[in-house]
Amino acid sequence: MSVFSHNEFDNHEQIQFCHDETTGLKAIIAIHNTNRGPALGGCRMWHYASDEEALTDVLRLSKGMTYKSALANLDLGGGKSVIIGDPRKHKTEDLLAAMGRFLERTGHQYIAAEDSGTSVPDLKVMGLETGNVAGITERTGIDGLPCNGDPSPATAYGTFIGLKTAVQYQLDRTDLTGLKVAIQGVGNVGYRLAEHLHEAGAELYVTDIHQEQVDKAVRELGATAVTQNEILSLDVDVIAPCALGAVLNDESIPLIKARVIAGASNNQLAAQRHDLMLRERGILYAPDYVLNAGGIIDIFYERIGHEHNKVRAHIETIADTLIEIFQRADQQDRPTGEIADELAEERFMK
């Protein structure tokens, strides 16, 4: 498997391949950049079709974390880890403990948090073997209620703030009543985003690979269930990708009718050129790593002393960052993702 010549390799500082024969653990840890501080990023567990797919994912995700932390003005670098396997079939406490031991071997250069396929209890098991985990401390959440450490509520709130900002900029409306939003993925973050939108009066269309999540959104939020194949081509105002990445590609973009794309999933663009493709079609793309920074902001404050009001205020600055990106993109007639990357690089490159 090629690494240094891989399409997604971007001067990553460290890549660690992890295997534990006893538990069957197969994992990859990628540290992209630590110029601003230790790399922090989620530990994902997914049933990847191939080792190559897992490597591609961890390289892209770790880079995205560097850019996310920089644009969120945090003293953190970017990293990510992936465990290869079906979290509903292959996850065991022994496997998670083995992952914790590999995390410990990174020194303090990489800190893991929960991600798709992992949970706060999973990270606590890893934490028995290492101090290099975060997002597991019980504290007051951004809503003032008790929180077990799960950063999903903060991620969802930041995404909601970003979506509202994009809608106001592109559609010139502050009232979300009747706004049609298609949410691709209603898991931990997507469902909480749906709750915010429902409370604001939006009309929801949802899909997910797990039918029980769709059924819950239909039952509790009055959402309309649609298939995975049609979610991106619906006649709606906003598409909110909240599942896996690379959904904005050569096949999907020509079918999009929405004028705004604002969601929480990482690496929504299949390739950099799709950023320009969206702009040429008059679709405002709110860069994913700007919108979904709420979780890492929450975890950052957990590490330095959590004050939920300060966290909420910091998350709300996502709106200011987006407006700067949108305005610069229009002034320079350039794609929003390209502008966001440029701003981030100004902050983390030495």
Indicate which residues carry an active-site annotation: 80
Checking 344-350 for CB contacts under 8 A at 24+ apart, the result is 344/66, 344/67, 344/68, 344/70, 344/71, 345/67, 345/70, 347/36, 347/70, 347/71, 347/73, 348/33, 348/35, 348/36, 348/66, 348/67, 348/69, 348/70, 348/77, 349/35, 350/35
Kind and range of the H or E run holding 116: none
Kind and range of the H or E run holding 43: strand 39-46
The whole-angstrom separation of Cα 125 and Cα 316 is 32
Residues 6+ apart with CB under 8 A from 330: none
Kind and range of the H or E run holding 139: strand 139-140
Q: Computed over its alpha carbons, how large is the radius of gyration of the chain?
A: 19
